[in-house]
Amino acid sequence: MMIEDPIRLINLRWSNVASRLIHANSLPYTLIEQPQTSLVFEDIQLTSCYDRQSEAKLQAQQLPLECKSITIFGPAMGDLANELLSRPKLKQLNIVIMNLAVFRVALKHMFDVNWLKDERVQLSLATNNTAIPEYFLVSPAELTLVDDSAVILRDKLQLLLDHTFVSSHHDQSQQVQSDIEVNKPFIVKDLSIEALLPQYIENKSRAYIIATGPSLQEQERLLGTAESSANGIIICLDASLKFLDYLGVVPDIVISIDPKPDICFEGIKLEKYQDTALVYFPRMSPELLNNWQGPRYCAYSDGPLYDDICHQYPKTRLFSGGSVIHPAVDLAVKLNISEIILLGADFGYPTGKTHAFWPSNFVVPQPGSPGTHWVFNWAGEKITTLPNLRGYLRYLEQYIDKNPQVNFHSASSSGARIQGAKLLRNDHDK
């Protein structure tokens, strides 16, 4: 049987896609022919080679039969498209091409390309701004094989796919409630963060938020500027306090959200920080809370973890996407800061180290090594990262997008490029 030319079919309806396909770079691959056809790119197999149709049925079962519009991110070998198009209630099927070179090769080896003629199908190219609808499915292999121009889209999809699993580790467990119960005397006594406004933030318009990425060690001059700034405050993440302590820089606020942050304060003489505010989430070590010399302020995350205690003892809730940098940023915004400068917010390992000042947790592999995750830095170069750090970056970018009234800057050109922020220029350093 003669198979129609898929590029011709695509050109009839989506000429811009066809043009891009024709000029797409070639990508080495291995063809698997038995028992069923599949393709391998960069040691990643695109589909099952035993029963592709059953694989497609299993994926399709994740969405209700009543769905009228579905989006597929990554067409793979077309099996999922064919499976979904067999649904009589489906009115629209949006297929997003995640990697042009992969799709061009896959088209050559598809036995059935009739799905390209179905009027319900819409074909488009993935970009970082591609919207993610309520009902979608993903080709797992193509999340890894995605074109560089759509890596932010990939990361957003990964966060959504991981959400249920991650949330299950932050539920109302007995240990969580036990930690909160132990700290109730502090929760009841300590003020909410609104009380910071008159004491720390009056006439302040800039916040320096100190994270612990390896580039922080290059920012000693800027840290000195931050400390002497008349219109700025320093908000220090707990893991960065040792570095500031070493430099003799005393922050205005320290923020800590982990249940066991003891190592961050180990060996530090807390007497230095009698004028430094501690903002904490209620699971923090009661010993540290008791030993803190300065004022304390309690806050809750915006997730379900603290719903019960917030109902009993209302406090301001701060945005949290898994990293302490999120509530630190939200704290600054809620305190009416109009400019935020991020130091050490690398979300990766640009210098081959995992942290500033601290010993590295592991040997950092080079970008491009098998199985290595990466993000782009401000120069468009790839730096090694971990999936959780990449997720923290995307959550921060989403937050920045929702707060256009605030100017965000990153002080690290070697760290991850932060969408919605600007790279700090020399005029801020003066």
What is the full DSSP assignment across 49-116? Answer: SS-HHHHHHHHHTTS-TT-SEEEEE--TTSHHHHHHHT-TT--EEEEEES-HHHHHHHHHT-S--GGG
Instruction: Give mean pLDDT, residues 114-120.
Output: 94
pLDDT tens across 311-334, in order? 999 999 999 998 999 999 999 999
Strand order, beta sheet including 92-97: 121-125, 92-97, 69-73, 136-138
**Distance separating alpha carbons of residues 236 and 344, to the nearest angstrom:** 11
Q: How far apart are CA 332 and CA 408, in angstroms?
A: 11
Strands 44-45, 38-41: pairing kind: antiparallel
Please check whether residue 149 is in contact with residue 128, taking contact to mean a CB–CB distance below 8 angstroms: yes
Q: How far does the chain reach from its first CA to its final CA, in angstroms?
A: 73
Say whether pLDDT at 3 is over 90: no
Segment 184-193, tens digit of pLDDT: 999 999 999 9
Give the pLDDT score at 417. Answer: 97
CB 281 within 8 A of CB 299: yes
Confidence of residue 220 (pLDDT cuts 50, 70, 90): confident
Contact 93, 84 (CB under 8 A): yes
> What would the pLDDT profile of 4-28 be if each residue is shown by its tens digit?
789 999 999 999 999 999 999 889 9
With beta carbons less than 8 A apart as the criterion, state whether 358 and 427 touch. Answer: no
Residue extents of the structural domains in the chain: 6-165, 174-428
Nearest residue to 81 via CA among 63, 64, 57: 57
Cα-Cα-Cα-Cα torsion 332, 336, 339, 341, nearest 10 degrees, comes to -10
Rounded CA-CA distance 376/272 in Å is: 38
Q: How far is CA 305 from CA 159, 254, 268, 394, in A?
A: 19, 22, 30, 22
- Structure token digits, residue 361: 């947790």
Among 394, 429, 396, residue whose Cα is nearest residue 413: 429
Query: Residue 77: what residue type?
Result: M
- Calculate mean pLDDT across residues 33-46: 92
- Contact by Cβ (8 Å): 320, 258: no
Does residue 427 have a pLDDT over 60? no
What is the pLDDT at residue 168? 64
Listed range (194-203, 254-263, 371-380) with the worst mean pLDDT: 194-203
Nearest to 209 by CA among 328, 294, 318, 322: 328
> What does DSSP say about strands 253-256 and 38-41: parallel, antiparallel, or unpaired?
unpaired
Q: What is the pLDDT of residue 262?
A: 80
Answer whether the bond into residue 35 is a cis peptide, omega within 30°: yes
In this structure, are strands 38-41 and 30-32 parallel, antiparallel, or unpaired? Answer: antiparallel
- Phi/psi of residue 354, each to 5°? -95, -30
Helices 6-13 and 15-22, axial angle in degrees (round to 10): 140
> What's the average model confidence in pLDDT over 290-310?
93
Asked whether residue 199 carries a pLDDT value surpassing 80, the answer given is: no
Write phi, then psi, for 340 (nearest 5 degrees): -120, 125
Residue 366 DSSP code: P
**CA dihedral angle for residue 358, residue 359, residue 362, residue 367, rounded to 10 degrees:** 60
Class of domain 174-428 as given by CATH: alpha beta
- Mean of pLDDT values over 51-65: 95
Crossing angle of helices 15-22/100-108, nearest 10°? 90
- Higher-confidence residue of 41 and 201: namely 41
**Percentage, residues of the chain above pLDDT 70:** 95
430 confidence band (pLDDT: 50, 70, 90): very low
Helical (H) or strand (E) element with 10: helix 6-13
pLDDT recorded at residue 1: 44
- pLDDT confidence bin for 429, thresholds 50/70/90: very low
Give the whole-angstrom CA distance, residue 201 versus residue 195.
10
Neighbours of 383 (CB within 10 A): 23
C-alpha 294: how far from chain center: 33
Tokens of 188: 């009841």
Q: Which of 363, 371, 369 is nearest to 387 (CA)?
A: 371
pLDDT computed for residue 332 by the predictor:
96
Q: What is the CA radius of gyration of the chain?
A: 25
Q: Would you say residue 174 has pLDDT above 90?
A: no
